[in-house]
Structures are given as structure tokens and as C-alpha cells.
Amino acid sequence: MARQNLAIRTVIFSMLGNAALAVIKFFSGFFGNSFALIADAIESVVDVFASILVLIGIRYAARPADDNHPYGHGKAEPLITFLVVGFLIVSAATIAYQAVQNILTPHPSPKSWTLWVLGAIILWKEISFQLVNNRSKKLKSSSLKAEAWHHRSDAITSVAAFIGILIAIFGGEGFEVADDYAALIAVAFILYNCYNIFRPALGEVMDEDNHEELTETIRRIASQVQGVNGTEKCYIRKAGMKYHVDLHANVDGNLTVREGHDIAHQLQDTLKREIPELGHVLIHIEPFEIS
């Protein structure tokens, strides 16, 4: 529950920050003649809706296992991540379309004071990225990782807008569309980040086992449990913030069924105690002949 509450607080932090920035960016872009800032505002609005989806996903994924979902509801997290990626792609397409329209339509250069606004936004978004990304690693949450990369993509679009406005201001006549081209460059970064968010979530849905470090930790802990003479197969599946494990453990083949059963439970309890992020742990006992 503590892990879920931390994740929820992190998403609410992102949501409130994006809502405030959307307002600041829109009015700064409108009064400062900068479509790059307005494009940034559009992305921030999309991020607010994406954060709501992430919040719903985290709450649903944290529901306990039931008869229909014996492994819990953790798979809801990567599914929500797919929706978030969809939101990002739609926002990128919207920004690209409007940028092209602006390039084809003459308009005045952006105001110089918009650079100060963008500088503050870039700093805030990078701080937000570091905070949310660190928590996503701590909680092993794919949806929080997507949330973090929203902040990073927002920072990148703001950097592109800053450069575009700088060129438009100092370039003078003929360079008014520089910030519109900057918006197009930002779109490319957003789409690249979409792939970075989508790929791990797809691996989670497909039960991709690429958890080498966790596997080594499980084997090390198992070797310290009395009665366990080593481990064989170790399969790991990630679902939300939990890892489900199937582990084959070697025990003395001369033990009784009851003794092997007790060792299996001791191993299971030890793993769950030492690694809190483990969910369902299935122990299969393999007879081992001790010479």
C-alpha cells in the first residue's frame, strides 16, 4: 500500500504541474507570438489527461488478486502505458500539423521575454523528470516511467522552442518561422520517446524475461536457505510493480514429501521477505542426490 500511495502522489504531482504549465505556456505563446510555446501547451494538456490515465491504471493494478485474476491486476499498468503513448502520438501529430500551417502563413517574430519563460520551464521539467524517473525505478513501474518521459519530452520541446525563438529574434526578418521549425524538431523527439516508452511495456505484456540482476539475487538468497542445494530454472514475469517468479530448487532426494514441502515454503517466505517487490512465487522441488 505504501508503494501504491507513493506512486499516486507522484502522478498527482505531475498532473498539477502540467496543468499549471499548460496555462503559463498558452498565454505566454499567445501574447508572445510563439507557436512553439503554444505547441508546448498542447503537449502539457495532453500530459494532464495522460496522468489521469496513469492514476487510474496504478489504482486498478494495485487491486489484490481474486478468483478471476490469481496473479493480481498488474498487467493494467502496461496497457495504460499503451494509451499514454497513443496520447503522445496524437499530440505530436497535432503539433506537426499546426506548425506546418504556421510556416505557410506569415506571422510576426516571438517576443524576447518568452525566452525567460522557457528557461524556467526547462529547469522545472528536468527537475520533474529526475524526481518521477527515480521513483519509477524505485517502484519498478512502467506507467511511472512513461510519466517521467512525458516530463523529459516536454523539456526537449521547450529546448527546441528556446532555440527556435532565439534564432527568430536575432535572425530578424525572414527568420520568423524558426520557432515553428523548432516545433517540428520537437515532434521528432516526442515520437522517439514514444518508442522508448512503448518497448518496455510491450515486453511486460509479452512476459519478456530480461531480469538478469533479479534472477541472480533470487539464486543468491535461495542458496542461503537451509536444505536448498542450488537452483535450476528461474522464470520471472513482471506485472505492474510486482514480479512473479517460478523457481526450481534442488533438495536432498532422500527427504520425505513433508520435509521437501516445508523447505519450499521456507524458501518462498524468505524470498518474499528479502525482495518486497515479488508477487506470486511458485517453488518446484527437484530431487538432488547428495554423494
Instruction: State pLDDT tens for residues 155-186.
Output: 877 787 788 778 877 877 777 777 778 778 87
pLDDT of residue 1: 58
pLDDT of residue 268: 93
- The DSSP symbol for 110 reads P
Closest among 243, 244, 260, 264 to 252, alpha carbons compared: 260
Q: Specify the higher pLDDT residue, 81 or 143.
A: 81
Mean pLDDT of the chain: 81
CA distance 196 to 198: 6
Q: Spell out the long-range contacts of 57-64 with Cβ–Cβ below 8 A and sequence spacing 24 or more.
A: 57/81, 57/143, 58/4, 58/7, 58/8, 58/11, 58/141, 58/143, 58/144, 58/240, 59/4, 59/8, 61/143, 61/239, 61/240, 61/241, 62/1, 62/4, 62/240, 62/241
247 pLDDT exceeds 80? yes
Q: What are φ and ψ of residue 199, in 5° steps? A: -60, -50
CA distance 30 to 22: 12
Q: Which residue, chain included where needed, has cell 524526481?
A: 131
Strands 278-288 and 242-252, sheet pairing: parallel
Helix 35-61 crosses helix 142-171 at what angle (to 10 degrees)? Answer: 180
248 pLDDT exceeds 90? yes
Within 13 Å, how many C-alpha atoms sit on residue 34's CB side? 34
- The DSSP symbol for 68 reads S
- 0.75 surpassed by pTM: no
Is 150 in contact with 100 (CB distance < 8 Å)? no
pLDDT of residue 263: 92
Is 148 in contact with 167 (CB distance < 8 Å)? no
E strand spans, the chain: 231-239, 242-252, 278-288
Lowest pLDDT segment from 54-63, 159-168, 240-249, 250-259:
54-63
Average pLDDT over residues 258-263: 91
**pLDDT tens for residues 74-127?**
777 788 888 878 877 887 888 788 788 878 876 677 778 888 888 888 888 888
pLDDT of residue 220: 93
CA distance 25 to 162: 12
Domains of the chain: 2-205 (1.20.1510.10), 212-288 (3.30.70.1350)
